[in-house]
Structure 1
Amino acid sequence: MVSNDLQPTLPFLLRPDMDSFSNYSYFQNDTDYYEEPSFSLFDIHVLVPVTIISSIMFFLGITGNLLTLLIFKRYKEMRTTVNMYLSSMALSDILIFLGLPSDLYRIWKYKPYIFGDFLCKFLFYLSETCTYCTILHITTLSVERYFAICFPLKAKTTITKCRVKRIILSLWVWALLTASPILFLFGVEHRNGSLPDEAKECNYIERSARTGLLETMTWVSTIYFFLPVLCLTLLYGLICGKLWRTRHKLRGPQAASREKYHKQTVKMLAVVVLAFVLCWLPFHIGRILFAQTTTILYDITQYFNLIAMLLFYLGASINPILYNVMSQKYRKATSKILNYSQVWQSRNLTRSERTSFQGTEVSSVM
């Protein structure tokens, strides 16, 4: 059970997505409350399993996404425009996991925050940036697939690797810019007149919240989620309609192969999008609850947001697993990289033999 004495500070413990939706007016009105010496938000029987699950996801997320980057870099046949977006998303997911140790520290001991103001601001900013970036990648990739399937001739000339690289760079720049107000909204400060050494919190800054920046970022992050979900629903509806109408019109082995590729790609991306929505939707539900909640519901919303935090990191770690399940090419490439006997054998080959072996290895990915 969450301690009632700590309720006013609970909403600001979790990720910035949920932090910005906390009941700010309630915090202002309740300035005299007793603080437990432990400063832990949850009981030990909750903290231990959450920490174990988070550690497992940290390991799977880092290794899985690094493996994705390695596969797309090593095999030329895997360097398609689709995989360029997916590899950039993998980098974003790796960066998201940099904030997990700080989140675990804050649920075990939310104050004093010992890592300094810079790290507090940077981790919040990095998390928000990567969240926006992942959403932008999924949406842009879906738009590309829509043009590739519905307007194949035009897409063939417009969707090039060079252009996709520029688009990916612009997505990162836009995400960095739109998340930049987080740097002014969060930081380390002490609250309620207590001694600084006792009550340093990595939290929103009260004077910044009073300017309306808190509400502004609330709207920005909400639009970043629900508007792309609406666009994704429309795009995949149009794509499925196009594939259904042309299922009997295509003739010849090349046309059939192209249709099969499109269907497989759409299926994989649809599963990725579905996982993204299911894993990240609880964050936004939690924001709404925090905006409308009363003190009676604080215990419920905190446990809900703890689950939402786990789902958030699950969303950052599950994509490599989905690629393995949905893509035969990815499975083959993964099995070759993880085949230690081949790696050991390649070390004993001469330089010329090793080059020949790797050439055969690459050609067999498809």
Structure 2
Amino acid sequence: MTDLALPEFGAESGDSALLRLLRDAGARRVLSAPDTDQGIADHYPFPFTALVGQYEMRVALLLAVINPQIGGVLLIGPRGTGKTTAVRSLSGILPDVEVSDCEEDVLPADLAREDAALLYPDCYEKYHSGQEISHFEPVRLVELPLNARLDDVVGGVNERAAAQGRMRLERGILSRADRHILYIDEVNLLVDDVADAILDAAAQGSFIVRRGAMAGTYRSRFVLIGSMNPEEGRLRPQILDRFGLRMNVRGLLNYDERVEVYRRVQNYRQNPSAFVRQWELATAEFRDEVMLARELLTRTTLSDDAVKVGIGLVQMLEIDSHRAEYAMFEAARAHAAADGRDLATVEDIRMVAPLALRQRHSDYMVDYFESQQQEDQRIRELTDTLTKQIKA
């Protein structure tokens, strides 16, 4: 029996103490109480600077946000090792980004094109009439749901507008993640068509949506981060190759570090806002360093020795994919820029090579090409033998 079914006894009716207790403590009292709290919680991501250990993971994530051209990061490891916590903390160390206020998703820089008045008429008119067409906002972490459909990801026809007889394309998750961070937890469980669409858009920086006679091109310049637990299934080699850096994340092995993790997590959960304020200064300093590194990256180049060592590594490891050296060189440039240098050296290659080159060698492909070479050699030998017989 619920408390709503209790009889309405008053104090004068001689109701028992048990009935009064049930009446006063049940759902009726909760529902009749004044609604002073809407139940909306403040969001305080764990500070990036408060993470303990996991140096290589933090370096990989930092390089990816300094230089999105690396192609993203894949975090591979068991549950509970801090992968998601680290990713969610990234938004706190990134500078604000410029976001368009126009329906065409246009920024002031886009209006410098000669055909801007034809391509973006509404936004062009607003901008030249003195109205603001963009604003700055903190970087967001856009998390992709595992049950997302392809239309949710790339966009599709606006169903509400279509019901009113108006056909209009609706932006998808990829477009809304432009200039932000796109995080895919359990990326190995994504359906193939969704995974392919995300990786293509991330590599090209834009994508095209076609629905019948309608078509739209959208920007997708986001930092791509994926995570997976290898116990729950492997990742297709084609998808694995698209991630620039790969990071194996294990639980901390050092006793003192594990104790410190416990203490910091305990403090964070007891009072998230106070914990975040405690690390506020360090986070702000780190954000400034990221901004400076991004600016320096535009002038950072590779030394000739760094290129020679990098290509030599790829060849000696028998890696076929050209994405290997591209990711490695871009990561080396980001590493140098983070260190305040405009020239990436062999030492930078040494630091980032394991991140960029691990899990790219394929014994299957090496054996496959060797067997093909043997077959080709056999074909040539037989051709020569038959040619000699004919001439004889």
Query: TM-score, normalization: structure 2?
Result: 0.21
Of Structure 1 and Structure 2, the greater helix share is in 1
Of Structure 1 and Structure 2, the greater strand share is in 2
Structure with greater Cα Rg: 2
Query: TM-score, normalization: structure 1?
Result: 0.22
